[in-house]
Structure 1
Amino acid sequence: MVRYLAERELEAMKERVGGKRKGFRKVSCINATVPLSQISSPSVSDDFCSSCKFNNNGEDRVVVGTLDLNQCVSLPDEITGNRPEGIGADFARAYLSNVCVGKELHRNGLGYALVAKSKLVAQEWGISDLYVHVAVDNEPAKKLYMKSGFVYEKDEPAWQARFLDRPRRILLWFGIPGINQDCCWSGECDCNKVAIEQMEQARTNVI
């Protein structure tokens, strides 16, 4: 069952990236990779599936983290963000999805680097408002996003979570700096400095 769901999501992702899914203007799958030689333990290296490993210009590398950036008004079966309002929502709003880091590499800043890279891409697309859905009981994920500058916007209704037979989600929001924001991204607060530093750092940490 797990393998079936993973394969179905892979096909759906390919359709979104290929522009075949209605409602998605742009989709980018952002991957973090490292040289296989940097994975010190053979047992850890073996834990990564063969499809995660590839050769680039003669160097063996492995995908250790990934996320999808979706430029769209809403994601299927998910609560919808409120910003921006009006006609701009169809091109200025985006969502993160399928955020994943290899468990062998947790707690090393890779998740922050992936999220920061997604902000760079969103900024290049002209996105002003970036969202992510998080299970209400997923404390590590909430900590990651809030440390990355995301703030709470709203809860998924309990009935919707029951209907979809899954943990209830919350929706977190991040305002992309420099894209007509009227919030704290005026450069006068500490969160602006932190986000910019993370975004600059992502240029070297994630490819």
Structure 2
Amino acid sequence: MNSSLERDFHAKERLLVIACGMIAREVLAVKSQAGLDHLDLTCLPADFHFHPDRIAPGIEAAVAKARADGFERILVGYGDCGTGGELDRVCERLGVSRIQGPHCFAFYQGLGRFEALGEDDMTSFYMTDFLCRQFEAFFIKPLGLDRYPELAKDYFGHYEKLVYLAQTDDPALDAVAERAAKLLNLAYERRATGYGDLTSALKHAADEVTAHA
């Protein structure tokens, strides 16, 4: 069997997750914990979080490449993530599915719990493990808060509390989230969510690959 045929055969037996870079570590953690050895991962840039207009075109290009590489089973590792339904339209056109929910903040908590907390969380600023690790790079420096900390009120004045959705139990990340709340002058709440609906979404998609193998 030549290398091209070997690649295509390999890809047909596997699930490819095309995910936001913000959840890459979490996808790999679920893969390891659940023994999803036939799951592969590729990611779009994490900073698409700030540019939702780039998500749908990015997914379209990534799916085209994946199919050229022989992948038949593809899961889009995004919620709507601010695309205003455009990602769903692209997914429908391409015949792929995505993780259910408006964004990772919802599926980490579980959609039912997220919806139940909707009114109470209207003025909450969410952080995750990724955003704790990247707080300087994603918020402090791009917003100029390292040079002009007084701008925090302008950027975050409409929030009332910072909610840290913790995927893991890491005191160092807890400390970052607590410092962020103080910096932004927000009340602080920690919610231990684990990986939430991400786990069930990946398991379900992986099981479908196994069932059709």
TM-score (norm 1): 0.32
Max Rg structure: 2
TM-score (norm 2): 0.31
Could you say which structure has the higher helix fraction?
Answer: 2
Between 1 and 2, higher relative CO (CA 8 Å, sep ≥ 6) is seen in: 2
Could you say which structure has the higher strand fraction?
Answer: 1
